[in-house]
């Protein structure tokens, strides 16, 4: 049974680890230049605030960012994958990126790690930017041009060894790399560079330029990616048509926005059981979530995971049942604090354990005849125990009964507590680990669906799944 369920879950994990695919590469209908979202469209000023951090990028890079912003889940996944594969460069990097299931715009940004990282660290802003482009493409392109004109009028946008600025008309300013083989990403403070203060909601950077001057880092040679279908040379902006251009066609990004929420589901049925999987992204909260389940005549298994990079909150769970009972484990983490729980229920009763990264731990059990007991220890070393309604505590000076029928408490010493807690090491408890994999088997590898593992190292432990006859 275990092997069958594992095989089915493996298939489901492949499905859910693959980023949500949408018909993004198909040209949009002729009326897509107008507002196509829900609610009230953004004003010109609001759009200018959104595009302020990227309006002075070279045209092709603006196009890639706008396209990729409509896939914020893939942006986060690609940024984490890139962090885990820093050793890849040149042709090796482009070949590895080719093997990923990301949108071409996201693949293109792997050539610009600082840009991709900035998008991933500001997902609320990225999501708003992506939805604005998909629902108000022409208005977004106009906002970029408005800001370029302001930066040029303020004397902060001019040609140099890194970029060439050409004013094709009063309404169109084109920015191209001076050397087509080397791309420089401009860095600037969007609150001052335009001569008018702009505050971008949901956007911040750890290294904001303090002056109005546009600065440049090290140039990025893009020769290795030029021949790829998603390479830099295949992207541009159609300023007159009001859209991003990819392979000479209008490109509108993720067509599954529908007001901002999107996801995917998959199900499979057969003579021996069924399997289900789903994944989704909520740009309003920045939360990713996915889950999978499988069942057959012998039992069932289910896994789930959620992560919000904006708050650092992460949670995962694995639950299973068979003819002999049920068992499961969960982990939740935020701000570096992690808690692990496990449980097992059979015909003989229930055992559960909990551990925290701060040092707290507990174990509890109940038998089929109604007897119960529990023991716990706080992070500061205080110990507590219960047995059939009697409560005891030990704060360093021995055990004292605080509730229930008076007993001789000598048996409730620290060694007894340790013995009770050692049940965690005998198949029931979770052992905190500094490495390993989560219930999803992510472990930080490139095939783990990048972007779903906790970014807190302490949350990457693997809870024991032993216990329970199969």
pLDDT digit string (tens) for 300-309? Answer: 999 988 877 6
For the full predicted model, state whether its pTM sits above 0.85.
no
Check pLDDT > 50 for residue 434.
no
Check pLDDT > 50 for residue 52.
yes
- In the block, tokens 């005891």 appear at 392
198 φ, ψ (degrees, to nearest 5): -120, 130
Average pLDDT score over residue span 407-422:
42
pLDDT of residue 451: 33
Highest mean pLDDT among 112-116, 229-233, 281-285, 380-384: 112-116
The band of 205, judged by pLDDT with boundaries at 50, 70 and 90, is low
d(CA 130, CA 72): 8
* Domain definitions of the chain by residue range: 23-251, 262-460
Q: Take residue 66 and report the two structure tokens written for it.
A: 């706008």
pLDDT of residue 192: 85
pLDDT of residue 415: 39
DSSP code at position 193: T
pLDDT of residue 22: 35
pLDDT of residue 184: 92
Q: Which long-range contacts (CB under 8 A, 24 or more apart) does 185-188 make?
A: 185/57, 185/61, 185/112, 185/114, 185/115, 185/216, 185/217, 185/220, 186/56, 186/57, 186/162, 186/214, 186/215, 186/216, 187/214, 187/215, 187/216, 187/217, 188/56, 188/156, 188/212, 188/213, 188/214, 188/215
Higher local confidence (pLDDT), 259 or 1: 259
Average pLDDT score over residue span 275-288:
75
Higher local confidence (pLDDT), 428 or 365: 365
């Amino acid at each position: 049974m275990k092997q069958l369920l594992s095989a089915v879950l493996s298939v489901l994990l492949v499905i859910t680890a693959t980023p949500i695919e949408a018909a993004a590469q198909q040209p949009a209908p002729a009326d897509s230049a107008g507002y196509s979202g829900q609610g009230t469209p953004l004003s010109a000023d609001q759009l200018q605030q959104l595009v302020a951090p990227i309006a002075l990028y070279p045209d092709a890079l603006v196009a890639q960012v706008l396209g990729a912003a409509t896939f914020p889940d893939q942006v986060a996944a690609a940024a984490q994958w890139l962090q885990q594969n820093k050793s890849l460069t040149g042709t090796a990097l482009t070949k590895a990126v080719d093997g990923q299931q990301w949108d071409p715009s996201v693949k293109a940004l792997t050539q610009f790690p600082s840009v991709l990282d900035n998008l991933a660290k500001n997902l609320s802003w990225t999501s708003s930017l992506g939805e604005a482009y998909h629902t108000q493409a022409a208005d977004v392109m106009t906002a970029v041009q408005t800001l370029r004109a302001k930066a040029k009028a303020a004397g902060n946008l001019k040609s140099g060894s890194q970029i060439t600025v050409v004013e094709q008309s009063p309404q169109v300013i084109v920015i191209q790399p001076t050397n087509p083989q080397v791309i420089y990403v401009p860095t600037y403070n969007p609150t001052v560079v335009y001569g008018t203060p702009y505050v971008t909601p949901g956007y911040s950077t750890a290294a904001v330029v303090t002056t109005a001057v546009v600065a440049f880092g090290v140039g990025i040679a893009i020769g290795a990616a030029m021949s790829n279908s998603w390479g830099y040379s295949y992207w541009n902006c159609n300023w007159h048509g009001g859209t991003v251009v990819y392979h000479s066609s209008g490109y509108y990004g993720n067509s599954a926005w529908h007001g901002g929420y999107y996801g995917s589901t998959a199900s499979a049925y057969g003579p021996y059981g069924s399997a289900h999987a789903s994944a989704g992204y909520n740009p309003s909260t920045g939360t990713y979530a996915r889950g999978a389940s499988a069942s057959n005549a012998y039992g069932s298994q289910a896994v789930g995971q959620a992560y919000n990079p904006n708050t650092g909150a992460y949670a995962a769970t694995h639950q299973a049942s068979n003819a002999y009972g049920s068992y499961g484990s969960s982990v939740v983490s935020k701000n570096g604090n992690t808690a692990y729980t496990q449980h097992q229920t059979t015909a003989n009763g229930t055992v559960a354990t909990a551990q925290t990264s701060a040092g707290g731990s507990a174990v509890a059990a109940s038998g089929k005849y109604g007897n119960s007991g529990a023991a716990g220890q706080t992070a500061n070393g205080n110990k507590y125990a219960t047995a059939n309604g009697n409560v005891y505590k030990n704060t360093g000076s021995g055990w004292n009964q605080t509730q229930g029928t008076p007993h001789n408490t000598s048996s409730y010493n620290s060694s007894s507590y340790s013995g009770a807690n050692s049940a965690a090491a005998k198949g029931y408890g979770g052992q905190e680990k500094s490495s390993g994999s989560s219930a999803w088997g992510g472990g930080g590898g490139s095939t783990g669906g990048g972007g779903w593992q906790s970014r807190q190292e302490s949350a990457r432990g693997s809870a024991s799944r032993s216990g329970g006859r199969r």
